[in-house]
Amino acid sequence: MDVHTTPPEPTLLEGLATTRAIRRYTDRAVTDSELATVLWHATRAPSGSNRQPFRFLVLRDGPRSRAARALLAQAAHDVWSTKRTSDGYDTGSGTDPTSLKSRLAATLQQYADHVADAPVIVLAGLVRYRPPGPLEGASVYPACQNLLLAARAVGLGGVLTQLHALVEDDLRPILAVPDDVGLHATITLGEPAGRHGPVRRRPLAELVYEDAWGDPAAWAVDPPGTRFTQAGPPTR
Amino acid sequence: MDVHTTPPEPTLLEGLATTRAIRRYTDRAVTDSELATVLWHATRAPSGSNRQPFRFLVLRDGPRSRAARALLAQAAHDVWSTKRTSDGYDTGSGTDPTSLKSRLAATLQQYADHVADAPVIVLAGLVRYRPPGPLEGASVYPACQNLLLAARAVGLGGVLTQLHALVEDDLRPILAVPDDVGLHATITLGEPAGRHGPVRRRPLAELVYEDAWGDPAAWAVDPPGTRFTQAGPPTR
**Among chain B residues, CA nearest to A201:** B44
SS3 A160: strand
**Minimum CA–CA partner of A231 in chain B:** B51
Confidence of residue A229 (pLDDT cuts 50, 70, 90): confident
Query: Considering CB atoms only, which of B9, B133, B229 is closest to A11?
Result: B9
Dihedral of alpha carbons B58, B61, B65, B66, sign: positive
- Per domain, the residue ranges of chain A are 12-197, 202-231
Q: Please write the tens of the pLDDT for every residue from B175-203.
A: 999 999 999 999 999 999 987 778 999 99
Chain A residue numbers with beta carbons less than 8 Å from the beta carbon of B177 are 213
Q: How far is CA B165 from CA A135, A216, B184, B186, in A?
A: 9, 24, 8, 9
User: Binning pLDDT at 50, 70 and 90, where does residue A145 land?
Assistant: very high
- CA nearest to B153, candidates B17, B19, B4: B19
Please state, rounded to an integer, the average pLDDT across all residues of chain B. Answer: 93
What does pTM read for this prediction? 0.94
Cβ contact (<8 Å) for B211 and A160?
A: no
Most confident of A117-121, B82-86, B193-197: A117-121
CB contact under 8 A, B12 and A199: no
The verdict on a CB contact (< 8 Å) between B208 and A39 is: yes
- Rounded CA-CA distance A69/A115 in Å is 8
Mean pLDDT of B27-43: 98
Closest CA of chain B from A209, distance in Å:
5
Q: Which amino acid is at A55?
A: R
Q: Report the pLDDT value the prediction gives residue B2, as an integer from 0 to 100.
A: 46
Nearest to A52 among B50, B207, B217 (CB): B207
ipTM of the complex: 0.94
Share of chain B above pLDDT 70, in %: 94
Residues of B in contact with A208 (CB under 8 A): 39, 43, 55-58
Counting beta carbons within 10 angstroms of the beta carbon of residue A46, is it exposed (0 to 12), middle (13 to 18) or buried (19 or more)?
A: buried
- CB-nearest to A208 from B56, B64, B204 is B56
Rounded CA gap, B119 and B187, in Å? 11
A183, closest residue in chain B (CA to CA): B135
- Residue A172 pLDDT > 80: yes
A12-197 under CATH 3.40.50.720, yes or no: no
Distance CA A36, CA A43 (A): 11
Which chain B residues have a beta carbon less than 8 Å from that of A132?
134
Please give the Cα distance from B208 to A171 (Å, whole number): 18
Query: Is B210 in Cβ contact with A46 (below 8 Å)?
Result: no
Nearest-CA distance B3 → chain A (Å): 24
Contact pairs from chain A to chain B, CB under 8 Å: 308
pLDDT digits (tens, 9 = 90+) for B100-121: 888 888 888 999 999 999 999 9
Q: By CB neighbour count within 10 A (0-12 exposed, 13-18 middle, 19+ buried), where does A8 fall?
A: exposed
Strand (E) positions, chain B?
Answer: 54-59, 120-127, 157-161, 181-190, 200-201, 208-210, 227-228
Of the candidates A181, A192, A49, the one whose C-alpha atom is nearest the C-alpha of residue A118 is A192
- Give mean pLDDT, residues B122-141: 97
Give contacts of B134 with chain A, Cβ < 8 Å. 132-134, 136-137, 182, 184
Cβ B220–A59 below 8 Å, yes or no? no
Per-residue pLDDT, A158: 97
Q: Which residue of A has its CA nearest to B32?
A: A219
Closest Cα in chain A, distance from residue B90 (Å): 16
Coil, helix or strand for A123? strand
